[in-house]
Amino acid sequence: MAARIASTSQRLRLHRSLAAVKYRTFSADAAARIRRRNAEFENDDGQLQRVAFPANNYDFLVEPSEYHPPLEEEHDNNSQVLSQAVSSPEPSYVKANYNYNVYQSSQPFQCEITDNPGQGILPQLEVAYETWGELNEAKDNAILLHTGLSASSHAASHEANPEPGWWQRFIGPGRALDTNRFFVVCSNNLAGCYGTTGPSHTNPDTQERYATQFPLVTVGDMVKAQFQLLDHLGIDKLHASVGSSLGGMQSLLAAAEYPERVGSCISISAGHKAHPTAIALRYMQRRIIMSDPHWSNGSYYDGKFPVVGMKHAREVATISYRSGPEWEQRFGRQRIEGARHSFMPEFLIETYLDHQGTTACLRYDPNSLLYISKAMDMFDMTEGFVTPLDSLSRIQCPTLVIGVQSDLLFPVSQQRDLVQLLKSGGNPRVTYFELDALYGHDTFLIDVHTVGAAVKGHLEHIPWV
């Protein structure tokens, strides 16, 4: 019998509800195919023996590899233990990404790295995207919102999908990205798993999933795909390019590569190249995933999903996303009530990491994490230029840079260097905010008051001449 992560009828009903959401996403023919596929995994009582994964993808079902205790049981137990800790804000993660738009191009997409499967050529390209606000008649009020590593296009709720998005409190009437004034576009990254072409998609030439035959992609490839989407939408010039983390990298590159099409640039908790500490942390996440035997060289889509690898990779990522000062305040050395000295979790901070891994491990495609994290590691805007100044001097539009003092992945030294290069390159309209915030790299997802106010001020009030 297939391994199951749910042990009660209530949890099986949850699995059914996830499948039901899938039908809202696709055409009638696609929904029928999903029903047939689900039927293959139902027992005599009509209960699903596999779970829809990722819930935001609605494309394939996987059988989670064995994990003890069952993931949902561990999730419930960890939640109970963590109720002892001081509360602290957590980012909003999308649980059901549906009713997004898809831009489809039948033209081959050439990736930057040609020493790649298929010489780096994707036979066709699909880009999942969502929008908020209205594009004005002049089509000059558009904001391109770039996402972080694992985010979907669902940055905020809208009529077709009322679920809160990952930047929910930043987007809307009167908010940082004011939809009374701006038309906001957000897409899922190339190589992602939430609708845009990625490793879990079927290669039209072979009719098999790409898996690790998907070509390595760069941040430049992601930006190129986004600008193809803008062409499709008829947007020649952006009011602004906005992004955080990987999105902040993309925002900078967009302003440098498409200077005539980007009116303003906002880069939050990012840099013009990957920091070695961040490279090391992401490398370890990839190694952990690849060491799970169920990863199967990336060909797990018809087999068992590498639960353990994804869980532990997410735990390492969590360490890089938050900060020591926050955890000192939030957890300290507080022990789990009744815990004995052992190699099992004894401190609340250990349970918190377990909880983060358990909660997130079935939410994202491991291969997408491999590809997109590698793209981040390879990112260096100065590569191929005689000096860093030659590269950064291409950005002459009004630019806002935000750094966070407690950020481990993108230390503030990177933002300071970036600002100095931009100013030395002749850009007189560079603004820098350095935040003394507790939440580390996750600050851009949490601190709507400080980050949001800075973004709103730049978009609406900075002189453009």
> Measured between alpha carbons, how far is 346 from 344 in angstroms, rounded to an integer?
6
> Measured between alpha carbons, how far is 15 from 5 in angstroms, rounded to an integer?
10
Identity of residue 269: S
Return the DSSP state at 89: -
Q: Which of 272, 441, 447, 458 is catalytic?
A: 441
Identity of residue 310: M
Strands (E), 335-413: 399-404
Residue 277: partners with Cβ closer than 8 Å, 6 or more residues away: 408, 409, 411
User: Token pair of 185, please?
Assistant: 């576009």
458 is catalytic: no
User: Token pair of 171, please?
Assistant: 């987007």
Burial of 8 (0-12, 13-18, 19+ CB in 10 A): exposed
Please state the length of the chain: 465
154 is catalytic: no
Q: Which of 292, 377, 407, 447 is catalytic?
A: 407
Burial of 54 (0-12, 13-18, 19+ CB in 10 A): buried
Identity of residue 4: R
Provide φ and ψ at 230, rounded to 5°. -60, -40
- DSSP for 108-149, please give it: -EE-S--SSGGGGEES-EEEEEEEES---TTS--EEEEEP-S
Question: 17-45 as b/e, with b when 16 or more CB fall inside 10 Å?
Answer: ebbebbbebeeeeebeebeeebeebeeee
> Measured between alpha carbons, how far is 255 from 266 in angstroms, rounded to an integer?
9
The helix (run of H) or strand (run of E) holding residue 183 is strand 183-187
Cα angle, residue 96 at apex, residues 218 and 447 outer, rounded to 5°: 70
In what order do the strands lie in the sheet containing 51-53? 51-53, 60-64, 304-305
Q: Are 398 and 264 in contact (CB under 8 A)?
A: yes
Does 54 sit behind a cis peptide bond, omega within 30 degrees of 0 on the bond before it? Answer: yes
Q: Which of 150, 241, 245, 391 is catalytic?
A: 245
407 is catalytic: yes
Provide φ and ψ at 24, rounded to 5°. -75, -20
Annotated catalytic residues are 245, 407, 441
